[in-house]
Structure 1
Amino acid sequence: MVNYLNSVNFTIIVSTGRTGTEFLAHALPQIYPSIHAEHEPYPDGFVLGTQYHRENYSNERVIEQYLKMRKPVLERLEQSNKTIYVESNNNLVMFLPALIEFFPRLKVIHVERSPLSYIRSAISNVQQSRYTLFSDTDPRARLNAKDFPDDPEFHTWEEFSQFEKLCWHWKKYNQLIESSIKQPLNYLKISHQKLFETDTLNEFNKFSKFIDPTLATSSDKILSCFSNPRNQVKEYSIGSFEDWGTTKIRAFERIIGPIKDYL
């Protein structure tokens, strides 16, 4: 299976979450029939990612488990005769170094969203009608500052509010992605704002040409797909950063940096 994935065009889309990765996995095959795309296929890799960090799984062990998890997907891909596989999955961030080591032709697309809008979206996105990310009712034992002994927030994590935890998550996941990249030519960072708000056609064309330079389609088809977003927050539980107040702004700037850098 390692050899098979190295023989096809293998691209992953990673981010902090709340960046349109589910939409992209559904839109790509509609726009380009030559692409087989999956969004967080089951098992989604969350447990494997935490084992990589908390149980010191080796890269070899991680890849062995990853290939077992993806066997049904790869069998469908092989039977379809499609040569492009795109996995849009934020959980892959946790073991990205292993993927890069074993799949040297792997292409990594990093969708980055401004933390100002990401935090507002994440804290308002109710999952399974019962929890939001890093809330008290979040059932998943997510990576946190206690998993990284050299993390600046290692000793203060237990005191963090949900807002502070989301600030940390945004910074840490983007750091994990960027620190894992060893081949810049196989890495592309895409702006969430440009892709979904201000420059859709140009940003999506850059995105698709990175996957495969031969991909081509009409602008109308692209814009038609983007007119039907998925998994959007319909009602925000907190206001935009202008309404956050001093406590939240100070927390944001302590963990991430000056707000002015993201305006």
Structure 2
Amino acid sequence: MIRKKIKQSFRNFLVTRVVRRTNLILIVSSGRTGTKFFEFFFKNVFEKYPVYHEPKPDLFDLSFQKILAEVSDEGIKRAIFSYRSKLIGNFYSNKDLVKYAFFKKPLYVESNPFIYPVLEEFSSNFRSTKYLFITRDFKTFCVSAYNKDPQGDGKNDFYGISDRRKRITAKDLGEKLPWEWKNLNRIEKIAWYWNMSNRHLYYGLKNKDYIHLNFEDIFNKDKNVQNEAITRLSSFFGIKILEPNSLSTIMRTKINKSKQISKINSINDLDSKTQDRIDFLTKEMREILGYRPIK
């Protein structure tokens, strides 16, 4: 029994040391921007290191608590360390833990659209952090988000009445809208969320080590545009350019596509009044990020 406790204590020491020495890569966005794809991409690049998309717990609730100021910054930091050190520790063998605790620099990659409120607390647990910030034009984001099935129960109800996750609202942030939150329809609430989450990321990443890429460039049908985006990404993270065939296979892989049940196919499916309201709700970040008006 004593020997078992000693072994566990030594393993805990190794895991803590590995996490503190780890270089972190965070892929962040509003969601519906290919974050699941980047788990696949980085796993092909960093085969020896843990790479995850929205690992459990996905920190959605913790981020919500941060916005509502229900948990201290230090409490959030400790919770993230506990969750992610367990994940990282389970990935490595004892031999690997010793290697990364004392000799080689470890790496951890997480792709997660829910962590925009807790960037500071997340990164403070690691040796260094680099960010990939992905944005998507609301004109196509809204179609993907509206058609999203958050619970995997066949219901496209992101920000809908039957959405089982309690999502952040304008009321939670004390924002005053020209119309009351309850009077916004689902697509208008999605528009508010797109603007709010991108605002958090845009200002939260200032003075941090990050690269901003557009969804439209990464998944562009024009291979020159796509290759330029991947080259920028690879250069920023010090990634060796993949072989053309391997890169083509990765880029052709479609991941996390929405099941379209109750759907819209285009922003043009929306009536003119709704488009005007969406234009207002997204104007701030569309202008900052360089996206054109809705109409």
2:6 equivalent in structure 1: none
Q: For 1:20 and 1:118, how far apart are their aligned partners in 2?
A: 11
Q: For 2:184 and 2:258, how far apart are their aligned partners in 1?
A: 24
- Alpha carbons 2:18, 2:106 under 8 Å: kept: no
Q: Structure 2 residue aligned with 1:64, among 58, 78, 103?
A: 78
Q: For 2:266 and 2:252, how far apart are their aligned partners in 1?
A: 24
Secondary structure of 2:142's counterpart equals: helix
The AA in structure 2 aligned to 1:123 is Y
Q: Structure 1 residue aligned with 2:161, among 92, 114, 136?
A: 136
Q: Structure 1 residue aligned with 2:249, among 205, 208, 224?
A: 224
- Alpha carbons 1:31, 1:221 under 8 Å: kept: no
1:161 equivalent in structure 2: 185
Secondary structure of 1:179's counterpart equals: helix
The AA in structure 2 aligned to 1:227 is R
1:110-129 equivalence runs, <5 A: 110-127=133-150, 128=152, 129=154
Q: For 1:62 and 1:208, how far apart are their aligned partners in 2?
A: 31
Secondary structure of 1:43's counterpart equals: coil
Q: Please report how far the alpha carbon of residue 161 of structure 1 lies from its aligned counterpart in structure 2 after TM superposition.
A: 0.7
1:21 aligns with 2:28: no
Q: Structure 2 residue aligned with 1:98, among 121, 129, 147?
A: 121
Q: Structure 2 residue aligned with 1:240, among 257, 261, 266?
A: 266
- Alpha carbons 2:147, 2:156 under 8 Å: kept: no
1:83 aligns with 2:109: no
TM-score when scaled to structure 2?
Answer: 0.79
The AA in structure 2 aligned to 1:20 is G
Larger radius of gyration: 2
CA 1:97/1:155 → structure 2, altered by over 3 Å: closer, same or farther? Answer: farther
Q: For each residue in 1:7-65, what CA deviation from the matched residue of structure 2 results, as whole angstroms up to 9, or x when unmatched?
A: 22201111111111011102321244244310011011011111112243222110100
Secondary structure of 1:147's counterpart equals: coil
Q: Please report how far the alpha carbon of residue 206 of structure 1 lies from its aligned counterpart in structure 2 after TM superposition.
A: 1.7
Q: For 2:119 and 2:63, how far apart are their aligned partners in 1?
A: 9
CA 1:112/1:260 → structure 2, altered by over 3 Å: closer, same or farther? Answer: closer
Q: For each residue in 1:194-229, what CA deviation from the matched residue of structure 2 results, as whole angstroms up to 9, or x when unmatched?
A: 001242222122223322x15332122111111111
Q: For each residue in 1:109-164, what CA deviation from the matched residue of structure 2 results, as whole angstroms up to 9, or x when unmatched?
A: 11100001000111012231234210111000011111212x24397212111011
| Residue range with higher mean Cα deviation, 121-130 or 29-38 | 29-38
The AA in structure 1 aligned to 2:172 is D
Q: Structure 2 residue aligned with 1:148, among 162, 169, 173?
A: 173
The AA in structure 2 aligned to 1:165 is K
- Alpha carbons 1:14, 1:108 under 8 Å: kept: yes
Q: Please report how far the alpha carbon of residue 69 of structure 1 lies from its aligned counterpart in structure 2 after TM superposition.
A: 1.3
Secondary structure of 1:30's counterpart equals: helix
Q: How many positions carry a matched residue from both structures? A: 260
Q: For 1:222 and 1:35, how far apart are their aligned partners in 2?
A: 19
CA 1:31/1:101 → structure 2, altered by over 3 Å: closer, same or farther? Answer: closer
- Alpha carbons 2:42, 2:51 under 8 Å: kept: yes
- Alpha carbons 1:21, 1:88 under 8 Å: kept: yes
The AA in structure 1 aligned to 2:194 is W
- Alpha carbons 2:160, 2:186 under 8 Å: kept: yes
2:278 equivalent in structure 1: 252
Q: Please report how far the alpha carbon of residue 70 of structure 1 lies from its aligned counterpart in structure 2 after TM superposition.
A: 1.4
1:42 equivalent in structure 2: 56
Secondary structure of 1:122's counterpart equals: helix
Q: For 2:146 and 2:251, how far apart are their aligned partners in 1?
A: 24
1:209 aligns with 2:235: yes
What's the Cα RMSD here?
A: 2.5
1:109 equivalent in structure 2: 132
Residue identity over aligned pairs, in percent, reads 21
CA 1:103/1:177 → structure 2, altered by over 3 Å: closer, same or farther? Answer: farther
Q: Structure 2 residue aligned with 1:12, among 20, 26, 33?
A: 26
TM-score when scaled to structure 1?
Answer: 0.88
Unaligned runs of 5+ in 2: 1-14
- Alpha carbons 1:28, 1:37 under 8 Å: kept: yes
